[in-house]
Amino acid sequence: MGNLCHGGAGPGVLHLQQRHAADAALGVYPLFGDRVWGWTGHIIDTLAVFATIFGLATSLGFGTQQALAGFNYLFGWGTGNFAQVLLITIITGIALGSVLRGLDGGVKVLSEINMALAALLFLFVLVVGPTGTILETIFSGGIAYVKELLPLSMPFAREDANYSQGWTSFYWAWWISWSPFVGMFIARVSRGRTVREFMVCVVIIPTVVSVLWMGTFGGTAIAQVMADAAAPVKSVALELKLFEMLKPLPLTALTSFLGIVLVIVFFVTSSDSGSLVVDTITAGGKTDAPVSQRVFWCSFEGLVAATLLLVGGAKGLTAVQAMAVSTGFPFTIVLLGMCLSLLIGLRQARKEM
């Protein structure tokens, strides 16, 4: 993250860019200096690799169950162990093909397909759904987000404990486990951008899109519950809520299938981009590591997800969640160091300008 946030603004940045710019340890370079090239950097890179692998495995496990639930909902397919392993294998295989094609030929193409499908489903629900309720939800939700951003960032200062107790340690650790590869991947594709461009494209625009997305699908579900307190979307299993929400709308089978494809493509793009980052970290920051190494890491992620689901049995996702917490917690310490390092690096870059 150090290179991205400096954006090529001075000799200090050029010094980093001459080294392995995609190395995870560079996130704390302003804090530790050249020590990141020794055991300090190795520890940070190792934590980043484990956090990424198990964070992606957790997402793959949840995505597999939701996609299988959708297939079972539409076609009556099974959701047992064999089906889970088969779907994980298919997702991993597609991700492997994307990884082998590289950043522009594979990851970028799948990401564009993912965005196109998401936009298509979003516009469909917005137009044919309860548009008035959706727009009201988007507007009120956006205002509430801005208004409550700081208060909700300090939940233990609130009088009610519902918010702080409602978000479990698992979600916290799961998001933390995604941070190494997401931060490094964004840094790689945004190299040379300014801090302002970074803030707009990586923070502001995704936040606005999230408000629109959640307001559209959440507003539709809320409208269904308001019209009928016993609406199935209220009580159905979590992995089926999307499909129950789409059921009252036109073209249910088509949109539900589109939702399944969207879930699969989303996790494929997560897997292939995560594999590229892990491959880069383990190669010491090199972006031209051997193809066999890329194949190994992409395959290993799918193997971890399948193993945790199978070994855990009926509580397979519990095993996956436990691994996400176990790897996310230690990386929190690294993230705190990165926050301090970012401030130091930005100050140094300003002096060098």
CA distance linking residue 255 with residue 124, whole number of Å: 9
The pLDDT tens digits of the residues spanning 90-126 come to 888 888 887 777 666 677 788 888 889 999 999 999 9
Task: Give the pLDDT band (50/70/90) at residue 220.
Answer: very high
pLDDT of residue 138: 93
CA distance linking residue 103 with residue 123, whole number of Å: 28
pLDDT of residue 124: 94
3-state DSSP assignment of residue 237: coil
pLDDT of residue 230: 77
Model confidence at 8: pLDDT above 60: no
Alpha carbon of 158 to those of 142, 147, 152, 287, 298: distances in Å? 21, 14, 8, 46, 43
The pLDDT tens digits of the residues spanning 124-153 come to 999 998 999 999 999 998 998 888 887 777
Q: How many CA atoms lie within 13 A of 109 on its CB side?
A: 11
Count structural domains, the chain.
Answer: 1
For 302, the domain range is: 2-352
CA distance linking residue 156 with residue 160, whole number of Å: 9
The pLDDT tens digits of the residues spanning 221-259 come to 999 998 887 788 888 888 888 899 998 999 988 999 998
Comparing 166 with 264, which gets the higher pLDDT? 264
CA distance linking residue 244 with residue 242, whole number of Å: 6
Comparing 49 with 288, which gets the higher pLDDT? 49
CATH number at residue 6: 1.20.1740
